[in-house]
Structure 1
Amino acid sequence: MIDFRYHIVSIVAIFFALGAGVVLGAGPLKGTGSDIVASQANKDRAALEDARAQLIAAKALDKYRDDYVAKVTAGLTTAKLTGKRIVIVTMPGADSDMTNAINDELTAAGAQVTTRVALDSKLFDPTQRQLVEPLVNQLVTADMTFPATSNTYQRAGMILARGIVAKDEGKLVDSEATKILSGLTDSKLLSLKPTPKDRGSLVVVVAAKPPTPAPDNATYNDAVDFAEGLDLGSAGVVVAGMPESAQNGGMLKTLRGDSEATKIVSTVDVANLPSGQATVVFALVEQVSGKAGQYGGVDARNGVAPSAVQAQGS
């Protein structure tokens, strides 16, 4: 049993400590605590104001950069795609503002965007493969030949290509194309607007920003195969996205890691910027000549854009 005197001593010690604190607070250490708190508050306030100023300056510089690039590059793409009919294909979750900006740049370059195709996430859902595979076989046309080594999603890309594009300009949306588009839309694998009358020759695929947390790069294997299929059935494909799409967890990252895909499909990883939208145009011009390149600011093997020689009028 604890001695009662132990409790008395403990209580006395507590009161002594409290009394000492009061005396010191009223004596030589008076105000020290509040001064420290006030000093730290001033430092924090100054740091916050400095950070805010840096943010404002960064935003101003970003706006200056974008405005400057837009003005400097204005006219560089003029007439580069005159007479070309182009289809924009958006991946599930693709940014609508970036897509619209790409659309505007293509139009400014003289191209006609015949339709915009929005792919549904169901198309790349592994649990829906049993729907995609038989549909591909059902929609194949007599004038189509699949490469012997092609897989389901490469063939699916070729099927869609047969509905919306051709290797040459001036092809109409015939009965076979109508059948393909009806089959794909009725199956809820995609939607398109407007319903095209003419088939294009070139395709711009707009990649989505990776979700958080970022998925495994292999998640995009089917999408990359699909883009290859679109290229095989057209005069060329450029896949455009934000810088994040070229990092781990992004479609461009996966595509650039596929040596076969990079031989035929071009990529641009800064399509959210005016300079990147111009690069999409230059990359399409290069595609018409039968070449492909990987452009942008994130591990872009071929630099920021095609050279001036490559980007000369088609």
Structure 2
Amino acid sequence: MIDFRYHIVSIVAIFFALGAGVVLGAGPLKGTGTQLVQDQALKDRKDLVQAREELIQAKALDKYRDDYVSKVTAGLTDGKLTGKNVAVVTMPDVDGDLANNTVETLEKAGAQVTTRVSLDAKLFQADQRQLIDQLTTELVTADVTFTKDSTTFERTGQILGRAIAANAEGKNVDGDATKILGGLTGSKLFGLKPTPKQRASLIVVIAGKTPNPAPDTSSYSDAVDLAEGLDRASSGVVVAGTPESAQNGGYLKSLRGDSDAAKAVSSVDVANMPSGRATIVFALVEQAEGKAGQYGGVDAKNGVAPSAAQAKDN
């Protein structure tokens, strides 16, 4: 137990400190505290003004950079995808502006965006796996072959790919594709707009926002498998996302960590920038040639973009 004398000493010390403060406040240090507060307030105001000016300048420079890159890259991508049909698949919780800007870039590069498929968040929930397996079994067509070790979502990607894509240009949406699309959209786990008339040869998958806190990267294994399945059903797939998606807990991080997927599927982690969207175009051109690469600014194994020579020659 604490001794009673300890309390007495503590109380005396408190009163002594209070008394000393009163004396000093009325004596030689009178007004010093007020002056200190005023000086600090003045300094804070100056710092705030400077910070505001720096922020305005930074935003202006960012806008300049984006506008400049947008104008420069627009010329570089002109005609790169002429004659190519491209389907866009958006992951759950995708940024609408990111998706719209990507579609705009593809169209400016000459591509015909045949359709946009949106994936519902419930698709990747464990309690939906039985339904997904059932759908895959019911909707498989005679011209689709699964590998022996294929996963549920690899098969799902192949089935979806059979409906919206093909390994060559000029393939129309046939009866089998229509049946698949009806079954997938009927599950309410897949959205489709517009209904395509032609199947695409290339596919862009747009990553959704990374949750906060970020999940374990293994939580994206099904999404990675889906991209691999789409790749098997088409001439190539590019997965596009923001820098956050390439960091721990992100879709692109998981994709790049899967050696088999990274050999087949390309990725771009700066799709929120004009330069990044141009890189998506170059990566699609590369995919059409049977090549893959991981591009961007965050642990991108193959650099910022396909080589200048490749981009220029195509």
Q: TM-score range by the shorter chain?
A: over 0.9
Match of 2:65 in 1: 65
Q: Are the structure 2 counterparts of residues 20 and 224 from structure 1 closer, same or farther at C-alpha, using a change threshold of 3 Å? A: closer
Q: Are the structure 2 counterparts of residues 159 and 31 from structure 1 closer, same or farther at C-alpha, using a change threshold of 3 Å? A: same
Match of 1:247 in 2: 247
Bigger mean CA deviation after superposition, 301-310 or 242-251: 301-310
Shift of 1:53: 2.0
Match of 2:31 in 1: 31
Shift of 1:280: 0.3
Matches within 5 A, 1:1-314: 21-312=21-312
Match of 2:75, SS state, is: coil
1:226-274: CA deviations, max 9, x gaps? 0000000000000000000000010000000000001110000000000
Report the count of equivalent residues.
Answer: 307
> How far, CA to CA, are the matches of 1:164 and 1:313 in structure 2?
29
TM-score of the superposition, structure 2-length normalised? 0.93
Shift of 1:29: 1.6
Amino acid at match of 1:212: N
Q: Are the structure 2 counterparts of residues 20 and 191 from structure 1 closer, same or farther at C-alpha, using a change threshold of 3 Å? A: closer
Compute the RMSD of aligned alpha carbons. 2.1
> How far, CA to CA, are the matches of 1:109 and 1:20 in structure 2?
78
> How far, CA to CA, are the matches of 1:232 and 1:18 in structure 2?
79
1:116-164: CA deviations, max 9, x gaps? 0001111111121111111111110011111222111100000000000
Structure 1 gap segments, 5+ residues each: none
> How far, CA to CA, are the matches of 1:17 and 1:285 in structure 2?
77
> How far, CA to CA, are the matches of 2:135 and 2:232 in structure 1?
19
Shift of 1:308: 2.4
Match of 2:88, SS state, is: strand
Q: Are the structure 2 counterparts of residues 28 and 131 from structure 1 closer, same or farther at C-alpha, using a change threshold of 3 Å? A: same
> How far, CA to CA, are the matches of 1:243 and 1:18 in structure 2?
56
Amino acid at match of 2:88: I
Q: Are the structure 2 counterparts of residues 184 and 39 from structure 1 closer, same or farther at C-alpha, using a change threshold of 3 Å? A: same
1:96-120: CA deviations, max 9, x gaps? 1011111011101111000000011
Contact 1:80 1:313 (8 Å CA) reproduced: no
Contact 1:79 1:109 (8 Å CA) reproduced: yes
Contact 1:90 1:206 (8 Å CA) reproduced: yes
Shift of 1:20: 6.0
Match of 1:311, SS state, is: helix
1:191-236: CA deviations, max 9, x gaps? 0100111111100000012010000000000000000000000000
> How far, CA to CA, are the matches of 2:128 and 2:61 in structure 1?
46
Q: Are the structure 2 counterparts of residues 119 and 20 from structure 1 closer, same or farther at C-alpha, using a change threshold of 3 Å? A: closer
Deviation >4 Å, runs of 4+: 16-23
Match of 2:259, SS state, is: coil
> How far, CA to CA, are the matches of 1:250 and 1:22 in structure 2?
59
Q: Are the structure 2 counterparts of residues 193 and 17 from structure 1 closer, same or farther at C-alpha, using a change threshold of 3 Å? A: closer
| Larger Rg, first or second structure (1 or 2) | 1
Match of 2:309, SS state, is: coil
Amino acid at match of 2:237: V
Match of 1:141, SS state, is: coil
Amino acid at match of 1:152: T
Match of 2:271, SS state, is: coil
Shift of 1:25: 2.9
Q: Are the structure 2 counterparts of residues 242 and 17 from structure 1 closer, same or farther at C-alpha, using a change threshold of 3 Å? A: closer
Shift of 1:38: 1.1
Contact 1:202 1:235 (8 Å CA) reproduced: yes
> How far, CA to CA, are the matches of 1:234 and 1:27 in structure 2?
86
Amino acid at match of 1:250: G
Identity %: 67
Amino acid at match of 1:60: A
